[in-house]
Structure 1
Amino acid sequence: MSQVPSNPITSSMDFGKIFGAALEAYRKQTKKDIASHPLATQLQSCDSPSAILAILRAQLQAFDQSQSADERLTKWLDPTVNVLYAFSATLGEGAGLAFPPAKMIFAGIGVLLQAVKDVRASQNALVDLFGRIEYFFKRLERYIDVRPTVAMTDIIVKIMVEVISILGMVTKEIRQGRTMRYLKKLIGRKDVEDALQRLDQLTQEEARMASVEALTITRGIDERVRSVENKVGSVTKDVKENGVAIQQVVNKVSDLNRNELRKELRKWVAPPDPSVNYNTASGAHHEGTAEWCTKGNTLANWKASGSLLWIHGKPGAGKSILSSAIIRDIKPMSNAGPAFLAYFYFDFKDKAKQDIRALLSSLLVQLSDQSDIFCDALYSLYSAHRQGSERPTDESLSQCLKYVLTSAGPVPIYFILDALDECPYGSGLPSPRETLLDLVDELVKLRLPTLRLCVTSRPEFDIRTALKPLATQQVSLHDESGQTQDIKNYIADVVRSDRRMKRWRDEEKDMVIEKLAEKADGMFRWVYCQLEVLRHCFPANVRRTLDELPKSLDETYERILKEINNANREHSYRLLQCLTVASRPLRVEELAELLAIELDAGGIPKLNVDLRWEDQEEAVLSACSSLVTVIIDDGSRVVQFSHFSVKEFLTSPRLACCTEEVSRFHIPIEASHMILAQACLGVLLFPDGHSEDSVKKAPLARYAAEFWVGHAQVGNVEMGIKDAMDYLFDMDKSYFRAIVLHYQSREHRRNMPRSVPKLLESGGCYSASGIRSTSLITE
C-alpha cells in the first residue's frame, strides 16, 4: 500500500492514522489500493474541475452511452466536483488536489462508475446513493471563501473518510453482482446502512459545530469591543457595570435573533396548526374522562419504556378526546423541561393536515420552539436549501427529524399522532397513508430509548397490519372497561344537567343512563346522537324512544336524514354536497350564501340577494340538523361535519343502497363539484347593474374567485358549466368591465392578478384543457 501523506492542516487528530485506516478499509472492500489506482494517478495531474469531470465522465461508458444515465449522473457530478475541488484548493493554498481525501473521493467515484455494468439494475441505485450523500458536499460551499478552523477540518476529514468507505462498500456489492434498483434495497444491507447513518450524524455534527463557531466568533467580537471600552473607561467599577450591561444587551439581541430565526423557519416549512384540533378536542372533554388512561398502568409503562403505544377504537369512540387528555397530561413535564412534546391531529376536514409533509413540518417546528439544538438542526436544513429559497423535500424533512431524535440526548421525546385513519388511503403510489405508516415503521425501528410514540386510529386493515407488529402496547377502546365507565359518567352528567332532561323524574333519568350505557358499544358519538333526540322527548315518550334506539351509527344517521323536513331537503342536500367537496373549510356566511344561488336560472347560475337569510347560522343548522356543527377558528365561525363518520356515511355505497327516502342524500363527488362550481360562477356572474363593489362584499366572493377553477376541472364538470364560463369571459358584460376597471385604478394597479392582462390579451377566451384562473377578488 502506498504511503499516506501527512497534512499540517489537521493538527488535533492523527490525520495519517485515520486516513490510512480508511484507505486500508477500502482496499479490503474492493481488493484495490485506491491511492495507487490509475485513476488516482490521472487525477493528481488535474488542475481544474473540468479536467476531473472529463476523467469521471469517461467512466460513464459503463452505461453503454445511456443518455438518461449520463444526464442524471452528470447533474450530480458537476456541482459536486466544483465544490470539492474548490474546497481542496482552499485547504491546499490554491494547489488544487493537494488535500488527499478529495482526490481519493474522486478516485472512488470513478472506480464505482467503472464497476457498473448493468444500466437497468444499477443506475437508479447510484443516483439515489449520490443524492443521499449530496448534503455533505453542499455544506462544503461555506468553507470555500472562509477557511475552516482546525477543529472543523478534523470533522470534515472524518466525513470524507466515511464517504470513501461507503464508495468502497457499494463498489464491492456491485462487483459481486448484487445490483440494486433502489436505494432502499441497497441500504438494507447493515454495513452500508450503518455507514450512511454515521455520515448523516457527522454531517449534522459539522453543521452544529459551524453554528457554535459562528456564535463564538460573534461573542469574541463582543469581548474585544468590551475590552476596548474597558481601557477607555477610567473607573474600574464603572467598567464592570458597563460590561454587565453590554452582556445583557448581547444576550437580549441573541434571544431576539433566535426568535426571529424561529419565525423564519416556521414561515419556510409552513406547518399547519394542530393546536386548533387540540383546543376543540379539549373543549369537548368531560371532567374525569380518560383518567383510566392517564392514571393507569399502560400509560405509565409507555412513559417509562417508550416505543409505540397504539390506541384504536370504532368510529366515534372518542379517540381525539383521549389524545387531548394524554397531551394535557404530558404538557406539565414538557413545560418544566425534562421532556419534549410534539403532537399532530390528522383531519378529514382540512386537506393541509392529511399527509406526511404536514406531520413532519409541524413536529420539527414544535421541537425547534423547545430547544436551541433542535432549532439549529432545522436551520442547517434551511441553510442547505439556499437560505430557504428552495423548498425542502419530504425526504429531507424526514432525515432532519431522525437526526433531531438521535441527537436529543437522554431527555424523552413524546409524539402524539391522532386519527391516522383520517389520512387518505388509495390515492397515489404510495398513498399518503402508506407513506405515513412507513414513517412510523422507520421511527420505531430507530430503537431510540428516548422516543415515546403514541398513535390513535380506527383498527382498519392496513393500519392494523402495519402497527400491530410494531406496538409494544395496545389499547382497544371497545374492550376497555374504563371507556365504558367514562361513557356512563358522560350520559349521567348530561341527563342530570340538561335544561330539558332535568325536568324528568328520576325513574326516566336512570332508565336513559342504564340503557344508553348498555348499548353504546364504546361509541361516544352514538351516545351523543341519541341524547340529542332524547332531550326533545316528553317524559311519557322516553321509554318508547329507548326501545327504538338505532343499533349503529349508520342507523342513527339514516334516522336523522329521515327527520329532515321535506321543505328543507333540497337546501340541506346542497349544503351537505358543498361541505363535502369544499377546497377549504367554509365559514357560516359562505355556506349560507349557497342558499341564495339560483342554479336553474335559464342555464346560467344567478346570485339572488333576496334569498339571503338574515340569520345565517340558523340557515345552516336548521337545514342540516345535528350532522354539522359550528366552531370558532381564528376568529371565524366555521362549519364542519360534526364527525368524520358523517362525511364517510354520506359518500359511502351503504347510503346509496338504502331506501329511496334516505338514499337521495347519497353524495356523488363529481356531481357535488358541479354544484359548487355553479354556485361560485353564480357569485362571479353578478347581474348587470350591480357594482363591482357589491360582489366583493358577497360572502362567497373570495372563495368563488379562488377555487372555482379547481371544481370545474374535476371529471366532466367543465362541460356542464360551459355556458356560464362563456358569460364569465365575455368582456362586453358589465361585471367583467367593473372588475377590470377596479384593477386599472392607480391604488389597485400594483395588485392586479396576472389573469386580468392575460384575459385582455386573449380576448377573454379559455381552453377546455386548462381553464384560466380568475382570482379577481382575492386581494
Structure 2
Amino acid sequence: MERFNARLQQKFLAAIKEDGNSDQSGCEDISSNQQFSKGIFKWSSSKSEEARISKRRRKEETQGLLDSLSSHNFLTPLKQSRRKRQNGTGEWLFETQEFIQWIDGNGAPVLWCSGKIGSGKTILTSGFPINKYITASTNYFNRSSIVDKILTEKRSPNTLLSFFFVQFDNHASLQSATILKSIIRQALSQARIPEDGKPLIEQIQRDMDSTPQSLVNALLTIAERCTKLYIVIDGLDECERPDCDEVLGALSSLVARARPLSVLIFISSRESIKDQMKRAFVEGFDRLFTETPAAESEIAMYVNAMIDEKLRKEDLNVGDPKLIEEIKAALTDGADGMFLWAAFQIDELCSRHCDDEIRKAIRDLPKDLTETFNRALHRILFQHHGDIAQRCFQWVAAAQRPLTRDELREAISIEINQPHSMGERLTNGIHLISSWCENLLVCDEEDCIVQFAHHSVRKFLTEAQYPPHHPELDVFHFNLQNADHFVGEICVSYLNFDDFKTSLARVQQQQQPEPQKRSRPRVLPSDIAWNTLGHAWSSGGLYACT
C-alpha cells in the first residue's frame, strides 16, 4: 500500500512539471496511464478476492458455531408430517378469531391447540405435501399449515421462526435441552447478525450451560434483535413431565421478559398437559380444540381425498360405483374426528378383493383405535407374519433413534449367543415390512427409516393400560424394559462375532506397511450398540455382562 501511495505522488508531481510539454510527451503519458490503470485494477482485484475469502471464512466459522449450539435434525419430522397431509385440511384453524389475533400479534402471546389421539394435530402444524396430481393454481392446493402460514405471510428480515416436532421414537427429541437449543439455533441462523457477529454467537455459546435460565437468556438476546419471534412446538406431551415443565417454564419466562408481543408461541398437544400449561402461563393463554364441528368436518374432506387417491392408484378396486359413496359415508361417520382411525380403515379396505367383502367390512368397522390395532394383529397372525412382526416391534420400540430398513434387517437376523454372522438368516423382501405388519410399522420413503405409524401404536403394544383381551395376541405385547434387555443381549452377541475377531487377528499377523482396506460391516458394532443402549453403552456398563 505504501509503494502504491508513493507511486501516486510521483506521478502527480511529474504531471505538474511537464504541463508545458504535454504535447510532446502525450504518447508517453498514455502508456504510463495504461500501466497505472492496470496496477489499480490488479490491486483492486486482489483486495476483492481477499474480501471474498474473508467473508467465506467468517461464514464457515459462524456455521460451525451454530452447529456446536445444536446439531439436532429438526427438518426431517417436518418433512415426514408434510408427506402425510391431505391438501385442503386445516383451514378451519386459520379462520378462528384466536389464531388470527395470535399470528397478527393482537391477542395472547401463547396459543395452545389440544386434541385427542389421531386428530391431526401434528399434520395441522407441519405443512402440505407437493401433490403432482393437483395443480398449484387451484385453491384446493394453496392451503397451508401453521409453519407455512408464518413463512408465507409473516416472513421478513426482522421476523424469525423456530419450530420443533417432538418424536416419541427419538430419545434426544424428548429432552428439554435439545428442544430449547434447537429453537435457539434456528432463530440465531435467521437473525440479522452483523459482519462481526462471531463474538455475539461465541458469547451466547459461553453463557449457555443447558440450564433453562441460560437458554432463556440466549433467546432473549436474539428476540431483542428482531421484531417478532414465532416459536411452534408440537407433541410436547410426549416428553417426560420434568422435561415438559422445563420447556414450558423457559417459554413462560421468555414471554414475561421479552417486549410485549415480540415473542409468539404456538403449542399443539394432547389434553394431558393442561395443568402444566396453567401453572406455567399464569397470565393466561388462548386455546383451540380439534374436537370442534369446524375441525371434524374436515374428516369428510380427508376421506374423500384419500379414497379418490387410492382409486386412482388402483390400490382400492371397486366394481359398483355406488359403493364408493357408501365407503366415504361410513368412514366419515365412524371416524369421530380421528384422522388416524380413518387412515387405518382405508388401508384395510384396500386389502379386500370384491365388493361383497368391502361392504361387509364397512358394516363392521372397529369402534376405536384399540379394536383397530387388535384386528391388525389378528391379520398378522393369519398371514403367518407373527414372528417377524414381534421382533420388529421390539427393535423399533427399544431403539434410541429410528433404525433404517437395512439396520432393522440386520438386527432381527441375530439371535442371542450367535457366534458369527449368518447371511442366510437375513430377511428377504424387507421392503414389505409395512405390509407384513399391517401398517402398524411404516417405512419413510425418503430416509428409509422404520417407525410406528403413530405413538399410540407403541403405547398399545408396550403399556399396561391397553390389555389385549385376546389371549392369542399376548405374544405381541411386551414390557419396554424387557425389550431393552433383549436388545442389549443381541448387541453383546453382535460385538462378539468371530468375524470381527478374525479380521483383527489377520491384520496383526500380516503387519503390512499398507494394509488392504477391509470392507466395513453393513452395520457397525458401535453404532448398533449406541443406537439401542445409549448411555449404558457409553459408560461401559455392558462389559460387566460379558
What TM-score range do you get, normalising by the shorter chain? 0.7 to 0.9
Structure 2: distance between partners of 1:637 and 1:593: 14
Question: C-alpha separation between the residues in 2 aligned to 1:336 and 1:452?
Answer: 15
Specify the alignment match of 1:496 in structure 2: 308
* 1:655 paired to 2:466: yes
Structure with more of its chain in helix, by fraction: 1
8 A contact 2:420–2:499 mirrored in 1: no
Post-superposition Cα deviations, 1:280-335, rounded to whole Å, max 9, x if no partner, equal 11122212121232355433211222601111111111111111111112113465
- Report matched runs for 1:723-742 at 5 Å: none
**Is 1:621 equivalent to 2:437 in the alignment?**
no
CA 1:336–1:241 in structure 2 vs 1: closer, same or farther (change >3 Å)?
A: farther
Deviates more, 1:567-576 or 1:292-301: 292-301
- CA apart distance, 1:476: 0.2
Query: Residues of 1 paired with 2:196 and 2:473: CA distance?
Result: 56
Match of 1:592 in 2: 409
Counterpart of 1:612 (choices 426, 444, 456) is 426
- Among residues 50, 61, 76, which one is paired with 1:276 in the alignment? 76
Pick which of 457-466 and 239-248 moved more. 239-248
State how 1:227-242 maps to structure 2 within 5 Å.
229=4, 232-233=7-8
- Structure 1 residue 561 displacement after superposition: 1.4
CA distance in 2, matches of 1:375, 1:505: 68
Provide the C-alpha distance between the structure 2 equivalents of 1:242 and 1:689, rounded to a whole number of angstroms: 59
Amino acid at match of 1:658: H
Residue 415 (1) aligns with residue 224 (2): no
- The answer on whether the counterparts of 1:417 and 1:454 sit within 8 Å (CA) in structure 2 is yes
Equivalent pair of 2:331/2:342 in contact (CA under 8 Å): yes
Matched residues in 2 for 1:355 and 1:595: separation? 28
- Indicate if the aligned counterparts of 1:709 and 1:773 stay in contact, CA closer than 8 A: no
Equivalent residue number for residue 570 of structure 1? 387
How far apart are 1:688 and its partner, in Å? 7.3
Question: Alignment partner of 1:562: what SS?
Answer: helix
Pairing 1:308–2:110 present: yes
> Per the alignment, do residues 712 and 351 of structure 1 end up closer, same or farther by CA in structure 2, a change over 3 Å counting?
closer
C-alpha distance in 1 between matches for 2:461 and 2:72: 27
Instruction: For 1:526, give the aligned amino acid.
Output: W
Per the normalisation by structure 2, the TM-score is: 0.78
2:240 matched residue in structure 1: 424
Distance in 2 between residues matched to 1:295 and 1:248, nearest whole Å = 52
TM-score, length basis structure 1: 0.56
Residue 598 of structure 1 aligns to a residue whose secondary structure is coil
Matches within 5 A, 1:521-532: 521-532=336-347
CA shift, 1:583, in A, is 2.1
**How far off is 1:248 after superposition?**
4.9
Residue 396 in structure 1 maps to residue 210 in structure 2? no
Q: CA deviation at 1:519?
A: 2.1
Match of 2:165 among 324, 331, 345: 345
Q: Distance in 1 between matches of 2:51 and 2:545?
A: 49
What is the distance in 1 between the residues matched to 2:261 and 2:195? 22
The whole-number CA distance in structure 2 between the counterparts of 1:421 and 1:473 is: 18
Task: Provide structure 1 residue ranges, at least 5 long, that are not aligned to the other structure.
Answer: 1-224, 426-430, 714-753, 756-765, 775-779
Match of 1:771 in 2: 543
Of 344, 351, 357, the residue aligned with 2:177 is 357
Q: Compared with structure 1, are the counterparts of its residues 671 and 687 closer, same or farther at alpha carbon in structure 2 (3 Å cutoff)?
A: same
Counterpart residue type for residue 397 of structure 1: L
Q: Is the contact between residue 630 and residue 638 of structure 1 (CA under 8 Å) also seen in structure 2?
A: yes
| 366-375 or 555-564, which deviates more | 366-375
Determine helix, strand or coil for the equivalent of 2:271: coil
Offset of residue 465 of structure 1: 3.8
Query: Which whole-Å deviations, capped at 9, do the CAs of 1:382-410 have from their partners, x for residues lacking one?
Result: 24766x9x9655532221112222x135x
Matches of 1:376 and 1:363 in 2, distance apart?
22
Q: How far does the alpha carbon of each residue in 1:740-776 deviate from its partner, in whole angstroms, 9 at most, with x for none?
A: xxxxxxxxxxxxxx99xxxxxxxxxx9xx773799xx
Residue 721 of structure 1 corresponds to which residue in structure 2? none
Alignment of 1:86-125 (within 5 A): none
Q: Give the Cα–Cα distance (whole angstroms) in 1 for the partners of residues 476 and 156 of structure 2.
A: 51
Q: What do residues 462-481 of structure 1 show as CA deviations (whole Å, max 9, x unaligned)?
A: 44544685554221001141
SS of structure 2 residue aligned to 1:662: helix
> Which residue identity is paired with 1:314?
K
Aligned to 2:142: none
Q: Distance in 1 between matches of 2:195 and 2:476?
A: 50
Q: Is the 8 A contact 2:400 2:533 kept in 1?
A: no
- Which residue identity does 2:333 align to in structure 1? E
Structure number with the bigger relative contact order (C-alpha 8 A, sep ≥ 6) is 2
Change (3 A) 1:249 1:492: same
Q: How far is the alpha carbon of 1:539 from its aligned partner?
A: 1.3
Deviation at 1:369, TM superposition (A): 1.6
Question: Post-superposition shift, 1:622?
Answer: 4.4
Contact 1:346 1:418 in 2 (8 A): yes
2:260 paired with 1:448: yes
Instruction: Give structure 2 stretches of 5+ with no counterpart.
Output: 12-32, 127-144, 505-517
1:248–1:576 Cα change, 3 Å: same
The one-letter code sitting in structure 2 at the alignment partner of 1:308 is V
2:513 aligns to what? none
Match of 1:555 in 2: 371
Q: Secondary structure of the residue that 2:122 maps to in structure 1?
A: helix
Aligned to 1:144: none
Q: Is the Cα contact below 8 Å between 1:341 and 1:367 reproduced in 2? A: yes
Q: How far apart are 1:453 and its partner, in Å?
A: 0.9
Residue type matched to 2:213 in 1?
E
Q: How far apart are 1:595 and its partner, in Å?
A: 3.2
RMSD: 3.5
Residue-by-residue CA offset, 1:547-574 (whole Å, 9 max, x unaligned): 2211211221121112212533232112
Deviation (angstroms), 1:638: 1.0
2:117 equivalent to 1:294:
no
Relative to structure 1, the CA distance from residue 245 to residue 616 in structure 2 (aligned partners, 3 Å threshold; closer, same or farther) is same
Change (3 A) 1:437 1:663: farther
Q: Quick one: structure 1 residues 436 and 495, their matched pair in 2 at CA, closer, same or farther if it must change by over 3 Å?
A: same
Q: Post-superposition shift, 1:279?
A: 1.1
Alignment partner for residue 630 of structure 1, among 443, 467, 480?
443
Alpha-carbon offset, residue 371 of structure 1: 2.1
Aligned residue type for 1:418: D
Equivalent position SS for 2:232: strand
Q: Deviations over 1:684-736 (max 9, x none)?
A: 233579953899524363434545765978xxxxxxxxxxxxxxxxxxxxxxx
Aligned equivalents of 1:510, 1:593: Cα separation in 2: 44
Counterpart Cα distance in 2 of 1:336 and 1:711? 42
Structure 1 counterpart of 2:411, one-letter code = L
Which deviations, in whole Å up to 9, do the C-alpha atoms of 1:209-265 show, x marking residues without a partner? xxxxxxxxxxxxxxxx6x984564457988987897677556535532441232121
SS in 2 for 1:380: helix
CA drift of 1:594 comes to 3.1
Tell me: CA distance 1:238–1:392, structure 2 relative to 1, closer, same or farther (3 Å).
farther
Question: What is the distance in 1 between the residues matched to 2:343 and 2:205?
Answer: 49
The letter for the 2-side match of 1:641 is F
Partners of 1:357 and 1:375 in 2: CA distance: 29
Q: Which has the larger radius of gyration?
A: 1
Q: CA deviation digits over 1:5-60, x for unaligned, max 9?
A: xxxxxxxxxxxxxxxxxxxxxxxxxxxxxxxxxxxxxxxxxxxxxxxxxxxxxxxx
Q: 1:480 to 1:242 in 2, by over 3 A?
A: farther
Give the Cα separation in 1 of the matches to 2:99 and 2:80. Answer: 23
Output aligned runs, 1:103-182, within 5 Å: none
- The amino acid of 1:583's aligned partner reads Q
Structure 1 position 681 matched with structure 2 position 492: yes
